Each structure stands twice: as C-alpha cells, then as structure tokens.
Amino acid sequence: MEVSKLSLRFASRVIVVLAYILIFFLVLYLWISTPSAKEIKHSFNETKIVKETWKNKKKVVIYAATKFFNMDITTERFLSKCHSTKGYCRISEDPKDLDVADAILFHNADFSPEKVPMPRLRNRPHVIWSLESPAHDSFRPLKDVINWTMTYRLDADIWYPYGHFVRRKSPQQVDYEAIWAAKDQTKIATWLASNCFSQNRRFDLIKKLIDKGLPLDNWGRCGKTPPICEGVSNQGSPCVVDLIRPYKFYMSVENSNCLNYVTEKFYETLRSRMAVPIVLSRKFYRQLGAPDDAFIAIDDFKSLDELIFHVKKVAADKELYLKYHKWRETHEVKPEHDDTTGFCELCRRLQNSDLGSKSYADLAWWHGYNTCDQSIADRFLGPPTG
Ligand SMILES: *[C@@H]1O[C@H](CO)[C@@H](O)[C@H](O)[C@H]1NC(C)=O
Ligand SMILES: *[C@@H]1O[C@H](CO)[C@@H](O)[C@H](O)[C@H]1NC(C)=O
C-alpha cells in the first residue's frame, strides 16, 4: 500500500518533469522555426525560385492600365531582369489584351477611377504599384478595388524594394586595400539632392552639421554644381558613382521617414559607390535586415558634436573605417531590379493556380501618413518653428 502510493507519487513527478521538458523543447522549436519579418524577406533561395518556376511554364500577361509617370510600362524595361520567368511573362498596354490578362496593374500616381476596366474583371487580381512614400503619394483607388499592393513595404503583397540584402552562402574575401585606395584622403562626407524642402527637415540638419564643422560637400540643387555630372541632380546617373566614390561617407537621409521607406541612395552607397551611409535613424534600416555595422546612424549619438567627432575619427583611421566594410564578407546588396522581387515576383505569383482572395477596404490608411515619423531630426534641431 505504502509502496504503491510512493511509486505513484514518483511516477506523477516524472510525468510533470517530462511535461516541462516537452514544453521547453516545443517553445525552443517554435522560437527557432519562426523567422522574424526581416528573415522571411531576405532568406530568398534563388536556386529554389528558379527550379520551381522552371516547372511552372504557365504563360502570364500583366495588363498595365496606367502609365508610369506618363511613361510606358514595358516588358523590356521592367521584366528584363526576370530570368526565372523569361519567355513566360509579359506586360501589355494594349486594351485588346485585357481579356487574356492575368492581372491588372495600376501605377498609383497615374491612377484615375476611369482606368479601372468596366465591368471590372473581378476574378483577376488588381494590383497597385508605388515607389513613393505616403508623404508624397496618397493611394487613390476606392474601397475593395485593389487586391494586391506592390511597394517597398515589407508587408506588401509583392515586395518591390529599392535594393535588399542577401546573406552570402559562404564568406567572401573583400579587397579592403582597393576600397581604401578609391578614397580621396581630403574628402570626408558628401550629399547630393534635388529636393531641398521636406517635412523631416533633413536640409536643416545637413546645414547644421556643416555649421558645426562636419567636412561635407553639398552637391546638387541644394548645394553647389558638381565638378563632374554637370546638371545632374538625381541619383540614377552613372556619373554619380564617380562623384561619390572618392568620399568616405554619404549622407543617406530620405526626404521622409516612413515605415520601410529606404531608397536607392542607401543601397547604391553601399553597392556601387562603396561608401558608408550616414542615416537618420537606425531602426528603419535594421528592420530591413541591414547589418548594423554597414552604416552610421545619427540617432545613435547624444548630440551632433559627438556624431561629427566620431565621423572625423573614423575617416582618419584606416582600420576603423574599413571595419564599416566588413559586412561585405557575409552580405551582398542586390539592386532595385532583381529576379527575386518586384515585377519578377509578380510574374511568379501569377503563375500559381490559386491566387487567393483578398482586397483592401482602406488602402489610403494602409499607405497613410500614420506610417511616417517626421520628427526624428527635432531632437537635434529643436522643435519646428512657423
Ligand atoms: C536552396 O534550395 C535548394 C533546393 O531546395 C537546397 O538544396 C539548398 O540547400 C538551398 N540553399 C539554401 C542556402 O537554403
Ligand atoms: C479581388 O477583389 C474582389 C473584390 O473584393 C474580389 O471579388 C476578388 O475575389 C479578389 N480577387 C483576388 C484574386 O483576390
């Protein structure tokens, strides 16, 4: 009697302990197997994408119901990097193709309600595309017109970033000497911009940094005419690479600070210009999977003086400066047009037999000013006046 009671108590203890162990491993498993948002987005397995698409040879047509800032939306311009769907996906602007179209695409800035085909082809996804932040673009279509969004937002249905990071399969050697040799030792920081007035007061911040002693060459419409790249004040031109590459730092400050809004200024600084971006706020870049040591964030510092002291120190110290390039061993930056994102991803998505069923009831809110924080510079500039 006594013995069986004892062994019963012992058995129940064992069960409790086993249950704890089980729960522990369950939690551990869930924790390991649930990737964070940024991991989902940059763990693209390109071999897998290519193989899957190779099997799926369904031909798809995207009907462009609008222009792109009044320019044509063509297969040549937007699908040329889509190796995995080459020959199986095309864009058409010809209304005759509306009947065979697999999706209907609208570029937001060119959208008008008349562009939505009547009667609406309800069984084809209607896709809204925008590369602008909500500070400069409010989404126009009404309730339940749009099924999919195609933007830089991580949670867009089709992710269309200005660039993105991928982890290298194996570490790569970096030619640090070449990076250092490309730098002109008299050139520290630079900025090139065409939009000098923005609500986040980035230009005021740049002017204050110069006043406080940051050696910064300010090119473009907000500064001086560049010695090369005459008249070019946008980021796209190849001569911009030659203009910026000799500098150690580039002021990569966006015209607005909205969720996931990071433009080619940042990615191209790392990719083609081989410089270190100085950004306004770390959190925006961290969310996108940017390695922490690939850039300098102004909001890491207590004051602009401390930031300037740090930038000057790093610029003068080869070893310290090259540490900001160490991420290149493990990561690679992909450009805006890339087989894994944007239009190429839209093509692949349309090859699926099940497209699901969703639509946006409040698109204006989804892409709204509520996703922006324009007050980051206030900490360094004081509250805005006027
Ligand atoms: C990518 O997918 C292929 C095929 O599924 C697999 O063999 C390979 O290990 C994957 N690579 C990575 C880096 O996940
Ligand atoms: C698109 O939205 C409409 C309207 O809500 C809906 O009827 C249709 O099923 C949706 N299609 C897809 C592919 O999500």
Cα–Cα distance for residue pair 151/162, rounded to 1 Å: 10
- Which ligand 1 atom sits nearest the alpha carbon of residue 43? 14
- The helix/strand/coil state of 43 is coil
Per-residue model confidence (pLDDT) at position 37: 43
Q: Which residues pair with 68 in a beta bridge?
A: 71
Amino acid at 213: G
Split the chain (386 residues) into runs of 10 and give each run's mean pLDDT. Answer: 74 93 87 52 58 73 96 96 91 94 96 84 91 92 91 95 94 97 97 90 96 96 87 76 96 95 95 97 95 97 98 98 98 92 95 90 93 94 82
The answer to whether residues 310 and 288 belong to one domain is: yes
49 lies in some domain: no
375 lies in some domain: no
- Which ligand 1 atom sits nearest the alpha carbon of residue 46? 1
Give nearest CA residue, ligand 1 atom 6: 48
Does the CB atom of residue 169 touch ligand 1 within 6 A? yes
Cα 24 to averaged position of ligand 1 atoms, centre (Å): 29
Cα–Cα distance for residue pair 50/348, rounded to 1 Å: 10
Nearest ligand (C-alpha, residue 48): 1
What string of H, E and C letters represents the secondary structure of 371-383? HECCCCCHHHHCC
Q: What are phi and psi of 185, to 5 degrees?
A: -65, -10
Predicted TM-score (pTM) of this structure: 0.84
- Which ligand 2 atom sits nearest the alpha carbon of residue 126? 1
The answer to whether residues 171 and 311 belong to one domain is: yes
Mutation pick for ligand 2 pocket among 104, 144, 346, 357 (CB with most ligand atoms within 8 Å):
357
Q: What are phi and psi of 244, to 5 degrees?
A: -90, -30
- Which ligand 2 atom sits nearest the alpha carbon of residue 358? 14
- The helix/strand/coil state of 75 is helix
- The helix/strand/coil state of 143 is coil
Give nearest CA residue, ligand 2 atom 12: 357
45 lies in some domain: no
Nearest ligand (C-alpha, residue 363): 2
The answer to whether residues 202 and 264 belong to one domain is: yes
Amino acid at 288: L
Any idea what DSSP says for residue 225? Answer: P
Does the CB atom of residue 48 touch ligand 1 within 6 A? yes
The answer to whether residues 311 and 240 belong to one domain is: yes
Write down the residue that tokens 């203890």 correspond to: 13
Pocket of ligand 2 (CB under 6 A): 122, 125, 144, 147, 355-359
73 lies in some domain: yes
257 lies in some domain: yes
Would you tell me how many other CB atoms lie within 10 Å of the CB of residue 327?
A: 19
Mutation pick for ligand 2 pocket among 62, 123, 143 (CB with most ligand atoms within 8 Å):
123
Per-residue model confidence (pLDDT) at position 20: 94
The answer to whether residues 87 and 114 belong to one domain is: yes
Provide the number of structural domains found in the chain.
2
The answer to whether residues 187 and 314 belong to one domain is: yes
**Structural domain that includes position 326:** 164-334
